[in-house]
Structure 1
Amino acid sequence: MIPRHLRISGFLSYRDPADLDFNSFELACISGHNGAGKSSLLDALTWVLFGEARGKGMDVINLHKDVKAAEVALIFEYEGNVFRVQRTLPRGKSTVLEFQVQDKENWKPLTEKTTRDTQARIEQTLRLDYETFINASFFLQGKADQFTQKKASERKTVLGTILGLEVWDEFKDRTAERRKLIEREVDEIDGRIAEIDTELSEEDVRKSRLAELETTLKQLSSTRAVQESALENIRKNAALLAEQRKHIDTLAASLERVRFSCADLRPGSRKKSRTELDTRSDQPRKRDRIRL
């Protein structure tokens, strides 16, 4: 991280706005009387980046009654990009944190929905947290040996963060996840191959069964053709019988009329009453029945 510009207002010793341009020098020595604001410059760096300083909470706001808020803005360069972080703490209110990256002539916002999420994104971008920063890049006054006094596991964590070893942990996790995915795919493929092998082992049996079914199908098709032919003949015979019934009915009616005519021609037939003739005509007709 290479700082470019720092602006402070209402923060600790700095009541009025103050700007510090890092581009105007390569090496600097800060000197001054006690309370002049030397440490406040360094506190401004840790506070704007990590929200940590000598003062806690509202203590970072300048004590003058006209000061309404503490505000620090830092522009820095990191891995070829230019970022801007601005942290503001109004008196009696919550902290406001903004994170941006320079996109040509404009600033593209990287601020998350909450201050905590934005802080996490800043630390993720820098791959540094407050503890790593003050033990590797920034030594607090009177705490130059703080790193050596830490436990072995804590020193390992700090060095791992400084050297970017957490990237390899991330690669390890990704590799493990990828390996699990590939193993699941291999298991699925093996299962499918086993199913295919089982089906292939039943090929001869299935071919034999198929041949049997094809033979049965041919037989059933032939039987169906014969039955359809017989059904067609039955339909023709039924139609012929219907025509014959109609013809028989016509002949029977004609025969009945002939009988009545012959009866009228016999001697004494005219003496018969109309009632007798009607009774004779009402008697059931006998018809021949044709059995199939």
Structure 2
Amino acid sequence: MPVPDSARRLRARRPGADRRYGVHLLGAAAAAAAGAVPFGLLLVLVKSRWEPLRRLDSGAAGRLHAIAVDHPSWTETLRFLSDRVWDPVTLRTAVALLTVWLLYRRAWRLAAWSAVTAVAGGLIGWLVKAVTERARPSLEDPVAHAPGYSFPSGHAMTATTSFAILLLVLLPLVPRVWRPLCWAGAVVSVAGVGFTRVALGVHWFSDVVGGWLLGCAVVALTTWAFEAWRADAGRRPTGVGGGLEPELGTRRPEAELFAPRSPTGRRSRR
């Protein structure tokens, strides 16, 4: 029985698609490892109280604390940024609202990715804090206080996961010319969060680095899973430059975008 031309074309395309799929997943796994492996090494150094790291933490804390004590207006600005603008509650609320909006748009899987990334980041961060039990800096004449353990920084980790979620979801809605500015704003915000926590004397520098690395690892792993689903569903890999789901920019719900076509070529509506 002769094989239809369409089946031949599909078989011809499959090896190339499989190779691209494998390369894409390998790249995602490497990205996850790039965050997880350095974090694991940093965790070992923190738990073993490695002296060079302790000196680095103490030096950074001492210098920034002296500036904060001598410049009250600067310190108030740092408090406002840390406790209002970049506060974890504020960022988590933004992600929750985004997830609700995605549900309204019927982008079910993207909404699930957003929720899972945010919740997983919070739970993993809390678990690592409980296991590490690192004390926060104890400075003379402190300018701020924070409860709980120190490593990793919850502010830094929440900022990393939250801004990554906002970027990777909303980039398809942003004109290409403005996307580099969005990336720059996210990077500056994440770096700013870490700086405020060290400058206010509530975290060591290594706490902040740990929060950044662990947050990146969580985002990379959940993004890896999302991209694997896209490949399994027959959608093209996107990478992160233009967002996880470029179809969101068409302003049509996911169920309509990927509904099966009727024999006339129209999307079927069920």
The TM-score range, normalised by the shorter chain, is: under 0.3
TM-score by length of 2: 0.19
Structure number with higher strand proportion: 1
Which has more radius of gyration? 1
- Relative contact order, CA 8 A, sep 6+: which one is greater? 2
TM-score by length of 1: 0.18
